[in-house]
Amino acid sequence: MIINKILGNRHDFDLKNKNIDTVNIEWYEVNKKILRKTSKLGKEIGMSFEKPQKLNDGDVLYMNEKEAILINIPESEAIVIEPKSMIDMGKACYEIGNQHIPIFLEEDSVIVPYEEPIMKLLDKRGFAPKRVLKKLVNGLECHKHHHVH
């Protein structure tokens, strides 16, 4: 099955009477234009998008009267910090940004994919990081550039 567009998100449809199948897309794959995956129920799914777009947890790839195929972003190891102030938020994001690591936001938390060096750095700087399993969604969009030194 080839998918060329996202139909919407699960919140846009009534899926009560449909068989739901899911395709796991890792957090680092959500901006890819071309993907090939196997759904939980064994269907081969090819995704080829004309324009770059961000895939989201719960996006509907296919739907008919009986079934729907949705994107699932599985939980990953992550680091969560809860800055106590806007100054702490700025300092934490500065430290993380210097490491060129993607940042995800959730209410009062800053979340990054787990890496031991960033865990140690955030702990050393007093941010009390926690290692958790979490869906990495709501990533901040950033532009890609190269540093010249």
* DSSP codes of every residue in 18-41: SEEEEEE--GGGTT-SEEEEE-TT
In which band, very low, low, confident or very high, does the pLDDT at 141 lie, cut at 50, 70 and 90? low
Q: Encode pLDDT of 73-101 as tens digits.
A: 999 999 999 999 999 988 888 888 888 88
Per-residue CA distances from 106 to 22, 44, 83 (Å): 24, 33, 12
| Domains identified in the chain and CATH numbers | 2-72 (2.60.260.20), 75-135 (3.30.70.790)
Amino acid code (one letter) for 136: L
In angstroms, rounded to a whole number, what is the distance separating the alpha carbons of residues 27 and 24? 9
Backbone angles phi, psi at 80, to 5 degrees: -115, 130
pTM for the complete prediction? Answer: 0.81
Q: Encode pLDDT of 10-52 as tens digits.
A: 999 999 999 999 999 999 999 898 999 999 999 999 999 888 7
Contact status, residue 112 vs residue 85, Cβ threshold 8 Å: no
Contact status, residue 95 vs residue 79, Cβ threshold 8 Å: no
In angstroms, rounded to a whole number, what is the distance separating the alpha carbons of residues 83 and 80? 10
